[in-house]
A and B are shown apart, each in its own frame.
Chain A
Amino acid sequence: MTIHHTAVSAGAIGPRPAGRAGLRHAARAEWTKLWSVRSTGWSLAVTAVAVIGIGVLATATTAHTWSTSTDLPDKLTFDPTRHSLTGFFLGQLAIGVLGALVVSAEYGTGTIRATLTAIPRRPVVLAAKVLVFGSVALVVSEALAFAAFFIGQAILSGSAPHAVLSQPGVARAVVESGLYLAALGLFALGLATVLRHTAGAITAYVVVLLVLPLIAQAVPAVVRDAVSRYLPANIGLTILSTRPTARLIGTPTFGPWAGLGILLAYTVVTVVVGGILLVRRDA
């Protein structure tokens, strides 16, 4: 093999631009990285299949059995909006995996060293990841929320009660479901920044979403009533619903917007702690 002298020599990359490598450059790099691995497409596809597929399954079952069902309490509390968004409870796991991988895959493969030597200002790197993944997650989540809603209502209509966006609380629930899913994805990204390990980050994420509610069921009622409103799972249920969920959950709950605020606070705290550790630790 020979070395092509012209290619190594100076001038090949043009004059040095003014300023310095910043958020814009880091975001372009993150965008390229995000779409150049298969796991991104797969995770998003799984999220979509989970959200829409389970929504279709749930609403089709209800549409089929509504006229023959004699479960009156069930019929009285039926929330067609939440019913069409049932798939979010599985979709949140898939988007969490992708959010975690955006950071943890870099540690798993060693790419983080290339990333941090290209842009040594580490908060800029993390901000770019949050920006790029957050935007993608938000667009996909909102699209899925509306798709699941409209498909679900179309299946319900005719044989069971169904919702339209203009009804009280319906548009709020659909829009906020998308925000909820995107926020959880970023929460997983933050966990991965703290833990730097795919398996660890996904485990922590699953513990917060699925295991904490089980633990809450096992503690005395006075403790349960105090803490379970802070659980992301219960916040999510309230967000997806168009009517109060306290009776459904069995403990007091926050309102849907307050709940989202708390969830965003978790996300911000996790990402900021991750950022502080990223700056302090050797890469």
Chain B
Amino acid sequence: MITARGLTKHFGDVVAVDRLSFDVPPGRVTGFLGPNGSGKSTTMRMVMGLDLPTAGTVTVNGRHYHDLPWPMREVGALLEARSIHPGRSARAHLLALAHSNAIPARRVDEVLELVGLASVARTRVGTFSLGMGQRLGIAAALLGDPGVLLFDEPVNGLDPEGIRWVRTLLKHLAAEGRTVFVSSHLMSEMALTADHLVVIGRGRLVADTSVADFVSRSSRRSVRVRSPAVDRLAEGIRQAGGTVHSTPDGSLTVTGMDAAAVGDLAASLEIALHELTPLASLEDAFMELTGDAVEYRSAEALRSDGHAAGAPVPRPGGGP
């Protein structure tokens, strides 16, 4: 259980985290969603006792991190991909950490096996790929078999196989009853991994809700339409004030009109419909909620016509 109350961090005049309060309970994957620069990493660093809050508190299992007697046995974290001496072997890095929390050396070999790095245990970390570095960071987080786990952007730099591996691992850890708190700026990634979302923008809490609720709160819905008379239908929708986006598979994605309005319009134009599916895009919901809170907005994020909604295509959610 992670508990933040009024958590605030200023860096000079910049307010990185602003009166953030949330709970991360055990047994489910809680996604920590926000655009780049919204304060996710700073929040996680405050949980881990690395940054001192300017105001407010954050505790793990009711205690400040600093007061945990055996921190690695209670909390594990993957904070930055590369925070390991490149000249040290994977095993030596983990062994030093194990010693610091009275963890037996055989556990080091166990976690190396678990993350698939056993064959390169004695290789210097400097030769590792980005994905191997991430795996080593995950091994370090799991070293103390902790009940609380934090992962800051764990799939960054991973190949598709690695991404799937991380997703499976996160769900598995939560299913074991652990507290799993995972940050991402990718809505689509969170949709696949998280059960619950803590959404922040510009350091402020935007939403604390289930993934399903988060999607349904989105007012900008879109509708997928298939028709043999696509061009005529698109023209009609535009005249009716809707926005149409063609997709490569020949269907249309309509925004600005709901499914009923599109159906009625097609009927009045005597156009047959082969599909009429209301869609809700997690990314659109995210954009809408954090719209005012996004530090840097890309041109894409400002575009109003949406995209092939619901497709699990990762894309930066408002990064520059």
Interface residues of A (CB under 8 A from B): 1, 3-5, 7-14, 16-17, 19-21, 25-26, 28-33, 36-39, 105-106, 109-121, 282-283
Closest to B109 in A: A7
**CB–CB A14/B71 < 8 A:** no
**CB–CB A4/B73 < 8 A:** no
> Residue B83 contacts which of A17, A21, A37, A113 (CB distance < 8 angstroms)?
A113
**CB–CB B114/A25 < 8 A:** no
Q: Is B230 an interface residue (CB 8 A)?
A: no
Can you list 9 A-B pairs, Cβ within 8 angstroms, ordered by A? A3-B172, A4-B113, A25-B102, A29-B96, A29-B97, A109-B86, A113-B48, A116-B49, A117-B79
Q: Is B176 an interface residue (CB 8 A)?
A: yes
In the complex, besides A7-B111, A37-B87, 20 extra interface pairs with C-beta distance below 8 angstroms are: A3-B165, A4-B113, A4-B114, A5-B172, A8-B145, A9-B176, A13-B73, A21-B100, A21-B101, A26-B100, A36-B92, A36-B93, A37-B88, A38-B87, A39-B87, A105-B85, A110-B84, A120-B65, A282-B45, A282-B50
Report Cα–Cα, A87/B171, bound state, in Å. 60
**CB–CB A8/B101 < 8 A:** no
What residues on A are CB-neighbors of B114 within 8 Å? 3-4, 7-8
What residues on A are CB-neighbors of B51 within 8 Å? 282-283
What residues on B are CB-neighbors of A114 within 8 Å? 83-84, 93, 97, 140
Report Cα–Cα, A8/B111, bound state, in Å. 8
The contact size tier of chain B is 35 or more
Report Cα–Cα, A15/B311, bound state, in Å. 46
A17-B142 contact in complex given A33-B88, A111-B85, C-beta closer than 8 Å:
no
Closest to B175 in A: A5
Report Cα–Cα, A19/B75, bound state, in Å. 17
What residues on B are CB-neighbors of A4 within 8 Å? 113-114
Q: Is B207 an interface residue (CB 8 A)?
A: no
**CB–CB A117/B48 < 8 A:** yes
Report Cα–Cα, A113/B51, bound state, in Å. 10
What residues on B are CB-neighbors of A110 within 8 Å? 80, 82-84
Minimal beta-carbon separation of B316 from chain A (angstroms): 24
What residues on B are CB-neighbors of A118 within 8 Å? 71-72, 97, 100-101
Minimal beta-carbon separation of B69 from chain A (angstroms): 3
Report Cα–Cα, A13/B103, bound state, in Å. 6
What residues on A are CB-neighbors of B87 within 8 Å? 37-39
> Residue A1 contacts which of B84, B116, B144, B173 (CB distance < 8 angstroms)?
B116
Interface residues of B (CB under 8 A from A): 45, 48-52, 65-66, 68-73, 75, 77, 79-80, 82-89, 92-93, 95-97, 99-104, 107, 110-111, 113-114, 116, 140, 142, 144-145, 161, 165, 168-169, 172-173, 176
Q: Which 9 residue pairs of A and B lie closest in terms of their CB atoms, listed nearest first? A: A110-B83, A36-B92, A20-B69, A29-B100, A28-B99, A32-B96, A118-B100, A282-B51, A29-B99
Report Cα–Cα, A119/B102, bound state, in Å. 11
Report Cα–Cα, A138/B206, bound state, in Å. 56
A16-B73 contact in complex given A113-B79, A120-B65, C-beta closer than 8 Å:
yes
Closest to A27 in B: B99
**CB–CB B110/A12 < 8 A:** yes
Closest to B75 in A: A117
**CB–CB A36/B89 < 8 A:** yes
**CB–CB B100/A28 < 8 A:** yes
Report Cα–Cα, A111/B84, bound state, in Å. 5
What residues on B are CB-neighbors of A112 within 8 Å? 83
**CB–CB A25/B69 < 8 A:** no
What residues on B are CB-neighbors of A121 within 8 Å? 66
Report Cα–Cα, A110/B140, bound state, in Å. 14
**CB–CB A111/B92 < 8 A:** no
**CB–CB A119/B100 < 8 A:** yes
Report Cα–Cα, A30/B172, bound state, in Å. 33
What residues on B are CB-neighbors of A21 within 8 Å? 69-71, 100-102
Report Cα–Cα, A184/B50, bound state, in Å. 30
> Residue B50 contacts which of A11, A26, A111, A283 (CB distance < 8 angstroms)?
A283
What residues on A are CB-neighbors of B66 within 8 Å? 120-121
**CB–CB B95/A32 < 8 A:** yes
Closest to B72 in A: A118
Report Cα–Cα, A62/B189, bound state, in Å. 74
Report Cα–Cα, A23/B10, bound state, in Å. 32
What residues on B are CB-neighbors of A14 within 8 Å? 104
What residues on B are CB-neighbors of A119 within 8 Å? 71, 100-101
A120-B84 contact in complex given A13-B107, A32-B99, C-beta closer than 8 Å:
no
Minimal beta-carbon separation of A10 from chain B (angstroms): 6
**CB–CB B96/A3 < 8 A:** no
What residues on A are CB-neighbors of B172 within 8 Å? 3, 5, 8
**CB–CB A36/B104 < 8 A:** no
